[in-house]
Structure 1
Amino acid sequence: MFDIVIVGAGVIGCSIARELSRYNLNICVLEKDSDVAAGTSKANSGIVHAGFDAKPNTLKGKLNAKGNAMFDMLSKELDFPFKRNGSLVLCFDENDVDKLEELKVKGENNAVPGIEILNKEEVLKLEPSINENVVAALYAPTGGIVCPYEMTIAYAENAYSNGVEFKLNTEVKNIEKVEDGFIIETSEGSFKSKVVINAAGLFADDLNNMISKNKINIIARKGEYCLFDKAAGAMATRTLFQLPTKMGKGVLVTPTVDGNLLIGPNAVDVQDRTDMGTTQDGLDGILNKAKMTLKEIPMRQVITSFSGLRAHSTADDFIIGEAEDVEGFINVAGIESPGLSSAPAIAKMVEGIVVEKLSPARNEKFNPIRQGIPKFREMDNEERRNLINKDSSYGKMVCRCETVTEGEILSAIRRPLGARDLDGVKRRTRAGMGRCQSGFCSTKIVSILSRELNVPEIEITKFGGNSRLLIGRNKEI
């Protein structure tokens, strides 16, 4: 019997797991995929919103700025990349400047610090690559950028180190309320728990609707992106939004914490909650909209495109709290943008609900510190020599584009909740994320995974399940 079962190992489930590991609770996280951060948390804008866009007095409005303020300390404790680069909402029509004023007032109501409206000259001085048709902008210095999957992995590893169990490849099939808690039936057997926390993202409505008469409806909303090489990364130092108009919300242009340039997303509602495909029309659409923001888009520097799915609730706000008709079943659903920004505050909110309900004792052994994988690309030559002297595997280069060594890949596999497939290694080290998109390094990584996991190379997958990369040996087929 667990005290708490959390369903879903995205940024929300893992942040909650880490906060609850501060207490003497028997906690388990169930995840249907082969790794943490395998859903919405692996493919989004990576923006830590300042909080001016959310409607005041909603959960989004209350939690965004609060979560934003927690990132500096969290990134230090958990050793994940975060940069407070600031953001601009660009206005291209004199008649719309009053809308910037409305956003500013909304932000002030949401307790967003330091926001101000800049004129054209001030905007272009900050960001010379912006289209000169700009007339004004709302500047929010607390806006930031983060690597969403590295953040999720950091949360998960720290939770695991503090005693939380993780069951991957474990899909919830049914939940039954019993006298002393819940029976959770999964693809890997049954689990019993006093409390269930529903952090299942796109599938949170399915879980809620299994057990509660108060139904939730989640819509899968797809957003497509174009990612540019690091050579284009300096075109924007801040996150650039377009002021929403009657023609639509526009797209963002932003640097990433790893130095790339990112453009997107659009917003298309889809029926298939696993539809991660991109379309030519969709990508052309976001690039055309981005031309309003930038003087020039370096099309030759596009290295890949991708899409992500967000869990949009028809309630148009986060759904957080115990189901009214099911005691002990706590929903954390409809967590779309600004969900990533709000995640730390959401976790604290859920912590409060659980503490009030179970009154657990503090875990005196809780350790808030997690050390990430050493990043060879960020070291100077002396640091590199010292590391290689300690471990010669750091002297073997595997991914040339991103300067990732065998030592980093071995660490990614061997650490808590270590990588078991190609995408798991990629998310932990960036191996394969450079301009050649794993064209040179994938075979080396497959070989290392095979050796470390003691399985044939033919069984190594891209992202678990049936995503095998190889079908046999030459001349045997």
Structure 2
Amino acid sequence: MVDVAIIGLGITGAACARELSRYHLRVLGLEAQNDFAAGATRANSGIVHAGYDAKPGTNKAKYNVRGNALYPLWARELEFPFIQNGSLIVCHDDGDLPGLQALYDRGVQNGVPDMELLDENALHSLEPNLSPACRGALYAKTGGITCPYEFCIACGENARENGAEFIFNAPVTQIRREDGGFAITAGEKIYHARTILNAAGLYSDAIHNLLSRVPYRIQPRRGEYQLMDNAAGAFFTRTIFTLPTPMGKGVLISPTVDGNLYLGPTSLDSTDKEDTSTTAEGRAFILKKAAESWDNFPKNRFITGFTGLRAHLIEGGDDFIVGSAPDVPGLFDAVGIESPGLTSAPAIAEDLSRQIAAYCGAKKKDNFQPHRPAIRSFRTMTNEQRRQAIAENPLYGHIICRCEQVSEAEVLEAIRRGARTVDGVKRRTRAGMGKCQGGFCGPVILEILARELGCDPTEILKDAPGSNILVGPIR
């Protein structure tokens, strides 16, 4: 029997695994998909919100502000990309300027530091490529950007180094109470745990409802994005929001930590928790709305579109649900974790790990290792560092992905750390994320995976089960 079974290994579950591994607890993570960050975490804005938007006194406000403050430390310890580039919330009409003041006042109530209201001149001096229609802005200097899946994978690797265990391709289908805890059926096996941490994202309502008489219901909310190439990344330094609406923070413009620029997302309620298709209507909406803030964006810089799904709670409240389920001792929930969930993950993990450790009577380890080294990236090295890396490992001189300058050494290290699919390598190394979107490197990565895993190339997946790239030889 383990002490804690974490159901779901997106950013919330992986961050919780990392924090729980600080304690003398046996931690087991169960994930329905074949890798970390396979759900909402792999396709979201990557924004580290400052915390001005959430209603004061809510869990969203509390965990957002605390999570934002923890990001610099976590990024140093886990070596995932994080840039505190600042956020600008712009308005396009003088009549909306009071809305900026209201956001500023809300941020003050939430404890957000380093905010400033900017007039039109100050705004355009910071971001000269903004449309002349932009009349003013709230400047939240603690806003930032990160890579959500790299962060998630880093948490998982660090948790594993500190003793946590993970099982993938293990969807939970049944949970029953038993003496001393729970029996969890996952992937046709039964696991026994003293406590459960429910971090199942879009399916966190279903997991909770297996045990509790107090029902929750999650509705997926679709968000489509348009991604531009690295050349477009020079147009803006800060993340550009518009005044938020009840459906979200609007279509934004943001640089990424990897030098791209993206526009989006849309915000449409759905009934399908698996539908990540993109649409012509979504693209048209994004381009139309983005033009309100950036009227002359280059139309020849787009390289792909993608869709993410958010876990919007529609029954059980409109706030993050974090903590012990009142009618199920030993069940700890993280339900309805939508935006600002990525920002809040370190703080939610910090809080839930304390609660679970107290429930189990566990003390902190003396030998917890907080540092996780990242895969050495060829594209970020200086020429001297590249020469040294190639001298130590000649495979650093074999470039697999030309667009992103990813070497075979990095691909092999990603596989050693757990990548089992083409997209698993992609999320760990950026191979396939450039202009050609894997047209050059994809077949080579497939071949390397098959070679290193000792399997037939037809068994290699792009990502999820059923996404086989090859079906057999041509005869």
* Shift in alpha-carbon separation, 1:338–1:130, aligned structure 2, 3 A: same
Q: Secondary structure at the match of 1:325?
A: coil
1:156 partnered with 2:162 = no
Q: Matches of 1:147 and 1:210 in 2, distance apart? A: 33
Q: Matches of 2:192 and 2:402 in 1, distance apart? A: 47
Q: Secondary structure at the match of 1:355?
A: helix
Letter in 2 for 1:67: G
Letter in 1 for 2:463: F
* Shift in alpha-carbon separation, 1:246–1:188, aligned structure 2, 3 A: closer
1:90 partnered with 2:90 = yes
Please list, as runs of the form range in 1=range in 2, the aligned pairs for 1:28-427 lying within 5 A after superposition: 28-244=28-244, 249-314=249-314, 315-415=317-417, 418-427=418-427
Letter in 1 for 2:341: G
Letter in 1 for 2:38: A
Letter in 2 for 1:340: L
* Shift in alpha-carbon separation, 1:246–1:31, aligned structure 2, 3 A: closer
Q: Secondary structure at the match of 1:156?
A: helix
Partner of 2:466: 466
Q: Matches of 1:304 and 1:357 in 2, distance apart? A: 46
Q: Matches of 2:355 and 2:248 in 1, distance apart? A: 38
* Shift in alpha-carbon separation, 1:356–1:321, aligned structure 2, 3 A: same
Spell out structure 1 runs of 4+ moving beyond 3 A: 244-249
Offset from partner CA, 1:156-201 (integer Å, 9 cap, x none): 0000010000000001001101121000011230000000010000
Question: In the alignment, is the contact (CA less than 8 A) between 2:220 and 2:269 conserved in 1?
Answer: yes
Q: Secondary structure at the match of 2:169?
A: coil
* Shift in alpha-carbon separation, 1:88–1:347, aligned structure 2, 3 A: same
Q: Secondary structure at the match of 1:70?
A: helix
Q: Matches of 2:248 and 2:325 in 1, distance apart? A: 35
Letter in 2 for 1:474: I
Q: Matches of 2:295 and 2:463 in 1, distance apart? A: 38
Shift in Å at residue 357 of structure 1?
Answer: 1.0
Letter in 2 for 1:327: P
Q: Matches of 1:188 and 1:179 in 2, distance apart? A: 21
Give ranges in structure 1 of 5+ residues lacking alignment. Answer: none
Letter in 2 for 1:371: P
Shift in Å at residue 354 of structure 1?
Answer: 1.0
Shift in Å at residue 119 of structure 1?
Answer: 0.4
Shift in Å at residue 299 of structure 1?
Answer: 1.4
Q: Matches of 1:444 and 1:309 in 2, distance apart? A: 30
Q: TM-score, normalised by structure 2?
A: 0.98
Partner of 2:448: 448
Q: Secondary structure at the match of 1:224?
A: strand
Q: Matches of 1:269 and 1:245 in 2, distance apart? A: 14
Q: Matches of 1:187 and 1:246 in 2, distance apart? A: 38
Offset from partner CA, 1:105-159 (integer Å, 9 cap, x none): 0000111001110000000000011001111100000000000000000000000
Q: Secondary structure at the match of 1:426?
A: helix
Q: Secondary structure at the match of 2:203?
A: helix
Q: Secondary structure at the match of 2:300?
A: helix
* Shift in alpha-carbon separation, 1:246–1:419, aligned structure 2, 3 A: closer
Letter in 1 for 2:364: R
Q: Matches of 1:48 and 1:162 in 2, distance apart? A: 26
Q: CA RMSD in A?
A: 1.1
Q: Secondary structure at the match of 1:420?
A: coil
Shift in Å at residue 76 of structure 1?
Answer: 0.6
Corresponding residue pairs, total: 473
Shift in Å at residue 262 of structure 1?
Answer: 0.8
Letter in 2 for 1:363: K
Shift in Å at residue 234 of structure 1?
Answer: 1.1
Offset from partner CA, 1:381-421 (integer Å, 9 cap, x none): 11001001111111101000000000000000012xx1000
Offset from partner CA, 1:222-266 (integer Å, 9 cap, x none): 100000000101111100001136998531100000000010001
Q: Matches of 1:56 and 1:71 in 2, distance apart? A: 21
Q: Matches of 1:330 and 1:118 in 2, distance apart? A: 43
Q: Matches of 1:245 and 1:41 in 2, distance apart? A: 23
Please list, as runs of the form range in 1=range in 2, the aligned pairs for 1:22-33 lying within 5 A after superposition: 22-33=22-33
Q: Matches of 1:352 and 1:170 in 2, distance apart? A: 26
* Shift in alpha-carbon separation, 1:247–1:362, aligned structure 2, 3 A: closer
